[in-house]
Amino acid sequence: MDSLINLLPEFWKATGETLYIVGLTLLLGGFGGLVVGLGLYLTRAGSILANRPVFGVLNVLVNTIRPIPFIIFLAAVQPLTRAVVGTGIGNNAMIFTIALAAMFAMARIVEQNLLTVTPGVIEAARSVGAGPVRIIFTVLLPEALGPLILGYTFIFVALVDMSAVAGYVGGGGLGAFALLYGWRQFDPVVTWAAVLLIIIFVQVVQFLGNRLARKALRR
């Protein structure tokens, strides 16, 4: 317990880093996922911008990348990370990698959520002369908003999970903190403090997500 009190400054710093990593990856990966997910949805056969080659490429990309365990993905995309971020280690390299992984995971979730929008309402919008861009913003996204919010809530947990391995590439956050001061020092109190905080994070976000989704669905 004393050790935890002594470590409090590091603990809060790690908490801040986790929030930073998860927040930024949610933003970047979430946006990327929305774009790729829309791409998948719009280009699939029978959809408003049906395009077989584009759909095929996106589909294979998502199917290939999504199942790779994150820790392996992290190592595999090192060259790309270095090219884009300038370095393969540290929080920013971590953010890039997580955002990339999250983008492909989220893309499938977005696509599935958009598929819940009945084709009929899209047809109704087309029948009054709405074009694809208008349909995306006035039909697809608003009609799928409830499930989309739940999808983003779901991916948040995955982001917290991925951010915990940042310690392996010289990044910070609660995962690195627990590893460094808890596990390596055989101090379960420190480990459990990190675990507890992560549980609280996830619970709070899940609660907010559920509420927002309910509001969007008006239930």
Tell me which residues touch another protein (CB under 8 A).
118, 120-121, 123-131, 134, 138-139, 142-143, 145, 216, 218
> Which tokens hold the place of 186?
């055989």
Minimum gap (Å) between residue 128 Cβ and another protein: 4
Task: Give exposure, 129-163, as e/b (b: 16+ Cβ within 10 Å).
Answer: ebeeeebbeebbbebbbbbbbbbbbebbbbbbebb
Minimum gap (Å) between residue 102 Cβ and another protein: 26
- Decide whether 5 or 45 has the Cβ nearer to another protein: 45
33 in Cβ contact with 105 (< 8 Å): yes
Q: Classify residue 194 as exposed, middle or buried by CB count within 10 Å of its CB (0-12, 13-18, 19+).
A: buried
Minimum gap (Å) between residue 213 Cβ and another protein: 13
Cα–Cα distances in angstroms (integers) from residue 9 to residues 16, 180, 191, in the given order = 11, 14, 15
- Decide whether 98 or 149 has the Cβ nearer to another protein: 149
Of the candidates 190, 201, 196, which has an alpha carbon nearest to the alpha carbon of residue 7? 190
- Decide whether 71 or 121 has the Cβ nearer to another protein: 121
Minimum gap (Å) between residue 7 Cβ and another protein: 48
Of the candidates 28, 20, 6, 4, which has an alpha carbon nearest to the alpha carbon of residue 201? 20
Minimum gap (Å) between residue 137 Cβ and another protein: 11
- Decide whether 72 or 128 has the Cβ nearer to another protein: 128
Q: What size, in residues, is the chain?
A: 219
Exposure on the CB side of residue 17, measured as CA atoms within 13 A: 25
- Decide whether 18 or 113 has the Cβ nearer to another protein: 113
Minimum gap (Å) between residue 146 Cβ and another protein: 9
- Decide whether 148 or 178 has the Cβ nearer to another protein: 148
> Which tokens hold the place of 89?
């280690």
Exposure on the CB side of residue 93, measured as CA atoms within 13 A: 24
